[in-house]
Amino acid sequence: MQIIKYNKVKIGLYVLIGCLLVTSCAENNMEQVIIPSPNGKLKVHFNLKSTKPTYHVHFNNKQVIDTSIFGLEFKNQANLTSNFKIVGVIENEVNENWTQVWGEKKEINNHYNHSIIKLQEIDGLKRHMNINFKVYNDGLGFSYTIPEQESVDSLSITNELTEFNLAQNYSTWYTPANFDSYEMAYQNKPANEVESANTPVTFEALKDSIFISIHEANLTNYAGMTLRKDKDSKLKFQADLVPWPDGVKVKTKTPMNTPWRTIQISNTAGGLIESCLILNLNEPNKLQDVSWIKPLKYIGIWWGMHLGTQTWTLGDRHGATTERMKAYIDFAAENNIDAVLAEGWSTGWEDWGKAKAFDFVTPYEDFDLEALSKYAKDKKIKLIGHHETGGDALYYEQQMDKAFGLYKSLGIHDVKTGYAGPINPSRQLHHGQFMVNHYRKVVETAAKYKLTINAHEPIKPTGIRRTYPNMMSREGARGMEWNAWSEGNSPEHHVTLPFTRILAGPLDYTPGIFDLLYKNAKGRVKWNGLDKGNSRINTTLSKQLALYVVLYSPLQMASDNIDNYRNEPAFQFIKDVPVDWEDTKVLQAKIGDYLAIARKDINSNDWYLGAATDENRCDLEINLDFLDSNKAYVAEIYADTEQSDWKTNPYEHQILKKEVSSKDTLTLKLAPGGGQAIRFKTIPK
């Protein structure tokens, strides 16, 4: 067996060297390729074992992924699983920087070693298949390519055999695989007890300081991937693609590329959060003009519907009225809030579940869309449009141009979409190939009308926001609304999301509830039969503020009814906190226990810090060396008190000011279920 180790190749020589390597490999019958990360600490070993393609991964001289196979199975043609030889390897190194339109950090380094391993069947049809690797210092991505060739045209993939064979019994943070929803509480179990998982799924080995997240990037014209346990192994997971109604997983034709299967690896939990691997594995921005894409804070007519004090439908408790909307616009204009959302403004909610229920352009009789658009414009406030489809994706596609055209004519640049309900066409699943293509069609069509998208009941993020930066945020997790009508989200939930779901991309969690026990929700009624009768927000008030920094989104909602913000000094932090960042640093982190993150405002020299804990009290020592060394700051601190407690005393908090510099250390005292939010405001010289 011959082993070829990675040789760095200048990009300018890529094609020439690639041709040379193709010839060399074919002649030498190579069976193994080793691809290191640029710093050499991570190594991927590709092998042919008895003609079957496999890989395994080492990090810091420890095996983290054991021998795992590749392969694709098809309907009506032979599978591509074995009978291979390597006929060529193309290698190069890329080191470039690119600038985000918006994001957790402005400048991103894209540095990786790239290998394209060209395979061909030894006999039979002698079909070609390539395995592509990009290996970074913080992880790797790999994908399949089936080139255009005479023996292969249309493809019906019935199974992707990709394996992730764990090298040890990692502690696992996951939600069970679900083809229609990600809105579940996270579980923490040893890997050998996990039967299936949505991605991202996160593994940790604290003894070895190894943290791993498995996900996918650039999910395009393909089915979403979940993981299922191999029936013959306790630590081996296989890709499980979401099917079409006929059982086929992916319908495509050559040339074909799968999404990148991603493995982020770090020796710290915070390193997973700081990784940009998912974004780097997507194509560059395809939109020429991005001047209309703006991160923003918003309020809206929304929370009352979940509490039952208002309704989406027309009637005595209808939420989206012209009068109420004007009050929200006025409040936004007075309080440094960029935009206002109104759900339930368009007709059709009374026909929920019926075909073609919503037309997306006809307002209820008590909501004057055109007048409100002018009123908001005069106040320099944006309106956020809302389209609930009830799952009727096919009809929405037929209505998009008309609906988006209306918004464009009114100067509306942002829309929230929803897919709460079974998908039409019948038996399609939210995370299958049909809906993956639908969600992309929405983003591409919206871009033509200069509209950004905030998708609820979505496909998970896979970094598409790099290619289409108008795809700004999405739900895809248990968000704030679950606190209105269920047992709610646990204090642990908020310090698990950044290490799991948010590794995939921004989350529209909608924080900022101040009426934690719903004291002001007079006349609250059950609206959907889910209310447990003891629903509440399971945090302190200070933690609600911290979530604006801890849970990243370029769209952040102050989600409470606006009356609960009036005359409340703590609301000042929501008014101040930015939604677009120049840099992000994780200061302290333990998955499911606590997290402290600092982010620098892209439009000033100010920094913001958010810290949160689970149900346990927590003291965190924070070194302020992330601050600029040549500047002085006033720390405006919104903190729990010694008496604060999410169960017994959630409202109590304190607001403090203190001069600090980069040489100082702060002790953050977080109450049970609590948090702390800090603005580090530069002092003018």
pLDDT at 295 over 70: yes
Dihedral sign, Cα of residue 645, residue 651, residue 657, residue 662: positive
| Closest by Cα among 213, 207, 67, 69 to 139 | 213
Partnered with residue 90 across adjacent β-strands are 116
Residue 534 CB neighbour total at 10 angstroms:
7
pLDDT at 90 over 60: yes
pLDDT at 281 over 70: yes
Name residue, tokens 């291979």: 84
- Quote the strand ranges of 347-435, DSSP E: 382-388, 414-418
pLDDT at residue 532, rounded to an integer: 72
pLDDT in tens, 359-380: 999 999 999 999 999 999 999 9
pTM: 0.95
- Segment 166-188 mean pLDDT: 98
- Segment 59-67 mean pLDDT: 97
pLDDT in tens, 430-482: 999 999 999 999 999 999 999 999 999 999 999 999 999 999 999 999 999 99
Region of 220 (left: φ > 0; alpha: ψ -120 to 50; beta: rest) is beta
pLDDT at 623 over 60: yes
Gap between the Cα atoms of 58 and 214, Å rounded: 15
pLDDT at 28 over 60: no
Residue 519 has, within 13 A of its CA and on its CB side, a CA count of: 8
Gap between the Cα atoms of 603 and 564, Å rounded: 29
With a CB cutoff of 8 Å and minimum separation 6, the contacts of 101 are 285, 290, 293, 469
pLDDT at residue 10, rounded to an integer: 33
Residue 255 preceded by cis peptide, ω within 30: yes
Gap between the Cα atoms of 471 and 460, Å rounded: 12
pLDDT at 3 over 50: no
Out of 91, 204, 481, 582, pick the active-site residue: 481
Per-position b or e across 640-677, b if 16+ CB within 10 A of its CB: beeebbbeeebebbeeeeeebbbeeebebbbbbbbbbb
pLDDT at 9 over 70: no
- Segment 521-537 mean pLDDT: 78
Q: Identify the structural domains of the chain with CATH numbers, from first to last.
A: 3-280 (2.70.98.10), 296-577 (3.20.20.70)
Partnered with residue 35 across adjacent β-strands are 44
pLDDT, the chain, mean = 94
pLDDT at 322 over 90: yes
Residue 425 preceded by cis peptide, ω within 30: yes
CB-CB contact of 638 with 573 (8 Å) = yes
- The fraction of the chain above a pLDDT of 70, given in percent, is 95
| Alpha helices in 348-392, H assignment, sequence order | 369-378
- Segment 573-601 mean pLDDT: 98
- Segment 185-208 mean pLDDT: 96
CB-CB contact of 405 with 415 (8 Å) = no
Backbone angles phi, psi at 418, to 5 degrees: -140, 150
- Quote the strand ranges of 394-447, DSSP E: 414-418
pLDDT at 26 over 50: no
- Segment 175-190 mean pLDDT: 98
pLDDT at 7 over 80: no
| Closest by Cα among 244, 245, 239, 214 to 226 | 239
The DSSP line for 472-526 is: EEE--S--TTHHHHSS---TTGGGTGGGTHHHHS-B--------TT-TT-TT---
CB-CB contact of 681 with 636 (8 Å) = yes
pLDDT at residue 30, rounded to an integer: 60
With a CB cutoff of 8 Å and minimum separation 6, the contacts of 471 are 443, 452, 453, 455, 464, 465
Partnered with residue 108 across adjacent β-strands are 98
pLDDT at residue 616, rounded to an integer: 98
Helix 369-378 / helix 322-334 crossing angle, nearest 10 deg: 10
pLDDT top residue among 21 and 436? 436
Q: Is 91 a catalytic residue?
A: no
| Closest by Cα among 283, 174, 216, 156 to 459 | 216
